[in-house]
Structure 1
Amino acid sequence: MIPEQEGPATPGAADKFDDEHYPGYTMGRAADMLGTTQGFLRSLDEAGLITPQRSPGGHRRYSRHQLRLAARVRELVDQGTAIDAACRIVTLEDQLHEAQRLNQSRRLDTVD
């Protein structure tokens, strides 16, 4: 017999895998996935682009959404854009994407 899990972690635990904002990646894993250094990720934190959550032990944890932003900054930096400018560009792109998503959602709501 398999023991039942207790507590709030059981209901909806699988949903965390689909949540793009769930901080499921350690700094080391995030850096490996992006092909960059941990120092690069720290610089994005210092620039205010991404604020990773912290584990109970104080280690940075990144979400898929944050990794997408970091990958875009990396792309711009590799093309010669200064990191501060790249962070600003990515922030504006992210805000534009969110506004477009909200507008699309509103359009769908008015059609119903």
Structure 2
Amino acid sequence: MTADDSFGRLDDDGYPAYTMGRAADMLGTTQGFLRAVEEARLITPLRSAGGHRRYSRYQLRIAARARELVDQGTPIEAACRIIILEDRLEEAQRINAEYRRSAEPANPTAAA
């Protein structure tokens, strides 16, 4: 990938653009915290060719949510589990809404 290719992906929410040090600085946390959320399987950063962790903006948002919960006194393992369950609930609600839309008659007046 060339520098031009990388530049074009900066608006990609899933592009692993941030090093561990930069990610920790952006979140106002430690690299150890990022390792802990990785160990809890909340996020899995991409590894560079040299083995260094790279984080996407999406992963940083998830880690920021975990940090909020931890700052409120929630143990890190519980915070990670809460976020995973919140994500599953959101997905189930999305699927349910799609199902309800597809089950509605195309013309409501025709059903009457």
TM-score, length of structure 1 as denominator length = 0.76
Task: Call closer, same or farther: CA 1:33–1:10 in 2, change over 3 Å.
Answer: closer
Unaligned runs of 5+ in 1: 1-6
Match of 2:74 in 1: 81
Match of 2:64 in 1: 71
Which of 10, 13, 38 aligns to 1:20? It is: 13
Task: Call closer, same or farther: CA 1:55–1:79 in 2, change over 3 Å.
Answer: same
Match of 1:43 in 2: 36
Task: Output the aligned Cα RMSD.
Answer: 2.8
Unaligned runs of 5+ in 2: 107-112
Which amino acid in 2 is paired with 1:60? R
Q: Who wins on radius of gyration, i.e. which is larger?
A: 2
Which amino acid in 2 is paired with 1:19? D
Q: Tell me the distance in 2 between the aligned counterparts of 1:19 and 1:101.
A: 22
Match of 1:90 in 2: 83
TM-score, length of structure 2 as denominator length = 0.76
Which amino acid in 1 is paired with 2:85? L
Identity %: 67
Displacement over 2 Å in runs of 4+: 7-13, 94-108
